Structure 1
Amino acid sequence: MIDITTIGWLTIDDIVLTNGTCKMASRGGGALYSAVGAHMWNPKVGIHSVAGRPYYKDTLTQIEARGIDASSIMRSEGNGLELWLLHESEVHKQQIPKLSSSNALGLDAERGPVNGPHAQALGFHLAPQGPESGVANARRIAAFPQKPIVTMDILADSFVNATLYHDLDFLEHLTAFLPSEMEIARIWRPGSIEGWLKENAVRHRCHMVAKLGERGALVCEAATGVLTHVPAYAAAVVDTTGAGDGFCGGFVAGLVAGEDAVAAAAMGTVSASYVVETYGALETCIPSDEQRKARLDDIRAATRAISY
Structure 2
Amino acid sequence: MTPELVTAGGLTVDHVISADGTVALARVGGNGAYSSVGALCWRECVGLVSVAVASYPRETLARLRDSGVALDGVVMVDVALESGNWFIYDDEGHRSERLTSRPEELAQAGFPTDRLTPQQVDDWQAQLRRRGDGGELSYSQFRDTHPMVAAQVPEHYLRARGAHCAPSRPVVLADLLPLFNGRGMVVTLDAGWQLAELSLDDLSPFLAQVDAFLPSEIELAALVPGVPIEQALALAAARCRGTAAVKLGPRGCLVWDKVADAPVAVPVIPTRAIDPTGAGDSFCGGFLAGLVETGDPVLAAAYGAVSASLIVSRHGADGALPIDRAACREALARLTSSIARAPMPARPLSA
Q: TM-score, normalised by structure 1?
A: 0.89
Q: Does 1:163 align with 2:188?
A: no
Query: 1:39 corresponds to which letter in structure 2?
Result: L
Cα displacement (A) at 1:90: 4.2
Find the partner of 1:141 among 171, 180, 184: 180
1:244 corresponds to which residue? 280
How many Å separate the matches in 2 of 1:224 and 1:201? 13
1:283 corresponds to which residue? 319
Identity of aligned residues (%): 33
Matches within 5 A, 1:212-291: 212-222=248-258, 225-284=261-320, 286-291=322-327
Query: 2:313 corresponds to which letter in structure 1?
Result: E
Count of aligned pairs: 301
How many Å separate the matches in 1 of 2:238 and 2:45? 32
Deviations 1:247-304 (A, max 9, x none): 1111100112134111111111111111111111101154544422332122112212
Query: 1:248 corresponds to which letter in structure 2?
Result: C
Structural RMSD (CA): 2.3
Find the partner of 1:180 among 216, 230, 247: 216
Contact 1:51–1:59, Cα closer than 8 Å, also in 2: no
How many Å separate the matches in 2 of 1:276 and 1:88? 15
1:150 corresponds to which residue? 187
Contact 2:18–2:274, Cα closer than 8 Å, also in 1: no
Greater Rg over alpha carbons, structure? 2
Per mean C-alpha deviation after superposition, the further-off stretch among 16-25 and 26-35 is 16-25
1:298 corresponds to which residue? 334
Matches within 5 A, 1:11-90: 11-55=12-56, 57-79=58-80, 82-90=84-92
How many Å separate the matches in 1 of 2:251 and 2:46? 28
Contact 2:217–2:248, Cα closer than 8 Å, also in 1: yes
In 2 relative to 1, CA 165–64 (structure 1 residues): closer, same or farther, beyond 3 Å? farther
2:112 corresponds to which residue? none
Cα displacement (A) at 1:191: 0.8
2:128 corresponds to which residue? none
How many Å separate the matches in 2 of 1:190 and 1:269? 28
Query: 2:93 corresponds to which letter in structure 1?
Result: V
How many Å separate the matches in 2 of 1:161 and 1:173? 15
Deviations 1:67-107 (A, max 9, x none): 21112111122235831112244432133253344452542
1:117 corresponds to which residue? 156
Contact 2:72–2:154, Cα closer than 8 Å, also in 1: no
